[in-house]
Amino acid sequence: MDVLIRKARDVSLAVTAPPSKSFTHRAMICAALAEGPSLLSRPLVSDDTGITERALEQMGARFARDGDAVRVQGTGGRLACTEGGILDMGDSGTSMRLLSSVALLCGCPVVLTGSPRMKERPLGPLMDGLVQLGGSVRYLGQEGFPPVELSGDLKGGVTRIPGEISSQFITSVLIAAPYARNDIEVVLRGTPVSRSYLDITLEVMRVFGGEIRRSGYESFQVKSGTPYRGTDYTIEGDYSSASYFFALAAITGGRVTVHGLNPESCQGDRNFPDILSRMGCTVRWAGTSATVTRDCALKGVEVDMSSSPDTVQTLCMVAACAESPSLITGISHLKYKESDRLAGTERLLSSLGGKIEVVNDSIRIEPSLLRGGTIDPGNDHRTAMSFAVLGLGTGGVTITNAECVNKSYPGFWDVLRSGGLL
């Protein structure tokens, strides 16, 4: 599916943020491992979360839709995996990483595989960490990458995992740790990226009864023998998805209100409206709703986005429309996402006339005269949505393979259509 984006000005739009993908994945896993039933209200229904749900069902959990909620019958950590069973994670890196540790609870060998792009995304540091805890890993293709066969046991102990590539390596071990034979301590090597996602993990684990102690972002200790308890849990709104609409107001000079956000959220992308404020926008909060308006020229910004990776591309689009340069740092791990978002953003923005340079872990964007063009997002949902927002500022932008947004936000194009923007 191709979508043609026409130029928009003075946009006036009100939307409700979709549920958080990060919270949904973690809540589904905790509920599936819990003792007894759980009711998850407003979980995100998307390609990615569907992959996690189906994999958990293969492991013995039961999911049943109930309006805009899902009822989960937990396994109590006693998984019913098929020996040699194959869990296909498609394009969902979150599912692949988070469920790797859970697979060690199966008691039999399990294969985790995925799409061609998934087989290019590194998994080695997590696998090394699981071996330290009693797991056994056999790579079925390239060393350090999926597909992998996992067997052995989650015995517990101390594991050391680098934090520079993905916080999901740490989250994976933590979320399965209550079901290890002995307590688990995860020691981080180096400065972790996407630290806010570790906060999300710990928040969800604690809601379901997990017992965790931490020393900043240096080490985490999880007590074994304390299974999750089934509970009722409501998924909060997603700041990553909301960022596209906040950026829309900034780029078009309009006014956009996003409802359904937790102003006290631990999501790292919660800082996106604040960054827009530094660039010249006005941000007003009213309860769980945030309104962004822009009445003056955009200024460039210098900002570290190491804890907000999912809004880096969105910020690049806003920065491309500013009247002074921007410098975005702390983003080297973006090359390991659904696509290499550093190289992709540089190439695609340049094709629209943007002046952008990627050096190591930074992006520099300077003012330029932008034009329309065709954007192939490379099956990356965030690339598609961020360039769609830029297209509403420049006009004449066609997004190919536009259905890739179903990975995280299936309703994205419908929201733009209902707002008269498509």
Q: Which of the residues are catalytic?
A: 310
How many C-beta atoms surround the C-beta of residue 306 within 10 A? 21
Q: 3-class secondary structure for 364-406?
A: EEECCCCCCEEECCCCCHHHHHHHHHHHHHHCCEEECCHHHHH
91, 82, 179, 167: which is closest to 129 by C-alpha? 167
Measured between alpha carbons, how far is 377 from 374 in angstroms, rounded to an integer? 10
Helix (H, G, I), strand (E, B) or coil at 343: helix
**Residue 204 carries which side chain, given as an amino acid letter?**
V
Quick one: which of 70, 4, 411, 83 has its CA closest to 233? Answer: 70
Contact of 49 with 241, CB cutoff 8 Å: no
Asked if residue 57 lies in contact with residue 30, where contact means CB atoms within 8 angstroms, the answer is no
Where do we find the tokens 């330290």?
A: 132
What is d(CA 94, CA 243) in angstroms, rounded to the nearest whole number? 20
Q: Tell me the C-alpha distance between 185 and 224, whole Å.
A: 11
Instruction: Tell me the pairing of strands 157-162 and 184-189.
Output: parallel
Residues 276 and 278: their CA atoms lie apart, in Å, by: 5
- Ordered DSSP codes for 89-134: -TT-HHHHHHHHHHHTTSSS-EEEE--TTGGGS--HHHHHHHHHTT
Nearest to 139 by CA among 122, 155, 153, 154: 122
Question: Could you identify the residue written with the tokens 């956009």?
Answer: 256
Cis, peptide link before residue 147, omega less than 30° from 0: yes
Rounded to an integer, what is the distance from CA 162 to the centroid of its chain? Answer: 19
Report the residue count for the chain: 422
- Give strand pairing partners of 39: 71, 232
